[in-house]
Chain A
């Protein structure tokens, strides 16, 4: 093996050098920082718009959207009682391809007394649909809204009219549905 000794030593050194070079290049230098990229939309932020296109009842901005017949109290950190003719307002940044969405539920106790409930859904005074609900529990109403009924950047008023509500025998308080969110989605 002696004939190979010198060459082997050289090769060994070369291999060591290569290994060192490899380690050096493989420790990928991460960029120290990046600058913000191009903004997809004007940077308005979450709290700068007066009204949203959809609101959950636990959102701090929910009271701004409520026009009538919805409780001021958030129950269970998520929902509010409505009365007979809840009404909300929204702003839609576009008018095309939107659906009115209302997430709500019927309480089993109240429905036992009221029986099936029929709700008329209106957008800016236009009747969108009338639906009869016969079972308790969670419901979602959703239906496409004709774009002519909406105006970009302006208030859209949404109303739901219940044909009957539960009336408290003690204080006459009226309870409609358990509302968790409403608005426009695409």
Chain B
């Protein structure tokens, strides 16, 4: 069977199974809907079920093609066997026929554009790297494995579970097409919402405007999750409204499912649960018993989708909300400093001179914040006029809530979750004068078409730029398309060809993991990677080298415990100890296996301060705070007359002190020390590679413009590495 047929099968099979599961849920919940509403809600609720079924299979190490096929067929069979359907309501006023025809005429070219791109080989930055990279790995390993070297593996992956369901049949493109289904569901729900609540033209206009929005199109055509979040959140908003009208257990349960599934698709969509809970409390606070019941039902249903991800993280990485909350849930896998740095970067993307640049970036330019909404959204403030309507206030409240995470990540696609609601508010205002709404939507659609968009957006704005049918239908083979149009595939091929199975590669940049069969660890994606990066950079950066030598003199009495602590509060510096040595008579006491080494925080790296390796060091991996320490407890009181701390120069604010405990348990603090600058150690490159190899890394991937390339390449003998090959500027080295 041609590859395109497999892709279509994977896509439609997943959609059909989702629809079947959703239809059964709607029937079980007894929610009466119109035919179009039922289809859209069935898809959302059923997707939640399929996602969860896949989670269970992954947790059970049962990810086989046959098992997934069997699970899907079983759901389809069950639906057919049960046969029941939810009560159906008559369709509401759909608005003028000319509006529907015009909307269809505008939408169809975009639909074709999206289908063509979604079906093409996946080349999206995040889709090809981690969304599908993790999916590929789970399928290769038949289920979840303990991935502690990639923080993306700790995010909730409800959407990835749907990609995973389609993966054995249609690989990458089936996943992207599954995501595209959510755009259809979102558009349908916005249309239905308008019809049900009496503003069909506004609903139709908003649906079309969202549908043609450039960043929505490119995101939905990729194996991402933002449009899915938008669809689920809008569905939740819609279902909350239905619950408010009906107050049935079924609609409350559906609200719970959607709230839980929203979290499962993306952490930031936890606000869906906040919205649902808040709405219930607001509407029922006069009836506490009923309120408690409804909240319990919503909470219990939501928990079915939320808790598994938390439990998985708690077990694998020791933090249920990893990669966040590391100060509370301390763990060896994500550093507190990383979390802070990452959050700061996401708030600015490292490129914007001021937040005042955001409006133009997200509407017209589209490059620095990765995507654009289109210039029509410069009119978004018009939507605030909807505050004068009850419906408008409802819509705007939810829009504002669902857009809150944008403050933490200013990428354009982080506006997608609330976009349908913002657009609906705009359409509610504009549709008071129908010609205006027609002009708005038509102008937006025209300006969003790739040929027009190229005329005003920046050249590297993230947006679809053409149809790619030959590649989509695999008339042009996937391999050929990727090799001609997408350089990262060359690097992936090089790694798979030259690195044996079971070996690990350390890289500095994200690689297309979904096209790779080898384990590539990226330095900035885990505590593990950050530690190794520091080790490899120490021979290259004098400030990282342990040249600062502090000598504390003790009275030469028996010592039970020695603690090096620091008392400063810093804004940038961390507390770092490369080596801590105990001396007697000028000679170092040999380190015994009976010594007990402790540190706070980050006890997991304390051995790095006691390994006699010049390039490893214990680091707090968070800003200086009084009380951070490294200590040694000796098995029996031993005479020590000096303690030496070897530290990197990069910590200028730390104020080290020494505390020692005598044989009777009395503590004495020593604030003064003699300090001098020691020589840079010899053999640091070999020391570094020894430590990297000991950590389980076998290969290095270094970009020609990356830091340290000249040294790695020019001093291979000193590093103990061997150059294997180069593709697209990436050099692969084997560690000897």
Contact = CB atoms under 8 A, between A and B. Distances in A.
B293 A5 contact: yes
Contacts of A56: 676-679
Interface of A: 1, 3-5, 8-9, 11-12, 14-15, 18-19, 21-22, 25-28, 30-48, 52-56, 58-60, 92-94, 97-98, 181, 183-186
A124 B682 CA distance: 20
Interface stretch (B418-426, B582-590, B662-670): B582-590
Contacts of B330: 28, 30
B464 interface: no
B590 A43 contact: yes
Contacts of B314: 22, 25-26
B679 A26 contact: no
A36 B595 contact: yes
Interface in B556-597: 581, 583, 586-588, 590-597
B591 A47 contact: no
Interface stretch (B64-72, B83-91, B477-485, B609-617): B609-617
What 5 A-B pairs have minimum CB-CB distances, sorted nearest first? A45-B588, A54-B679, A28-B318, A40-B613, A11-B300
B646 interface: yes
Contacts of A58: 676-677
B320 A26 contact: yes
Contact of A12 (B247, B290, B300, B614): B300
A22 B310 contact: yes
Given A43-B590, A43-B591, A97-B717, A59 B678 contact: yes
Given A22-B314, A45-B644, A53-B682, A31 B300 contact: no
Q: Is the interface of A mostly helix, strand, loop or mixed?
A: loop
Nearest to A38: B611
Interface residues of B, number: 66
Given A1-B248, A33-B633, 13 more contacts: A8-B297, A15-B303, A18-B303, A18-B307, A19-B303, A22-B310, A26-B329, A30-B330, A34-B596, A40-B690, A45-B644, A59-B677, A186-B683
Interface string B692-729: 00000000000000000000000001100000000000
B294 interface: yes
A45 B586 CA distance: 9
A185 B682 contact: yes
Given A3-B249, A97-B718, A36 B644 contact: no
A94 to B, nearest CB: 7
A1 B293 contact: yes
Contacts, number: 168
Contact of A35 (B597, B679, B683, B685): B597
Contacts of A98: 682
Contacts of B296: 8-9, 11-12, 15
Given A26-B310, A38-B611, A47 B644 contact: yes
Contacts of B583: 45, 47
B567 to A, nearest CB: 23
B587 A36 contact: no
B315 interface: yes
Given A8-B300, A97-B717, A184-B682, A28 B319 contact: yes
A154 B4 CA distance: 71
B687 interface: yes
B603 A30 contact: yes
Contacts of A47: 583, 586-588, 644
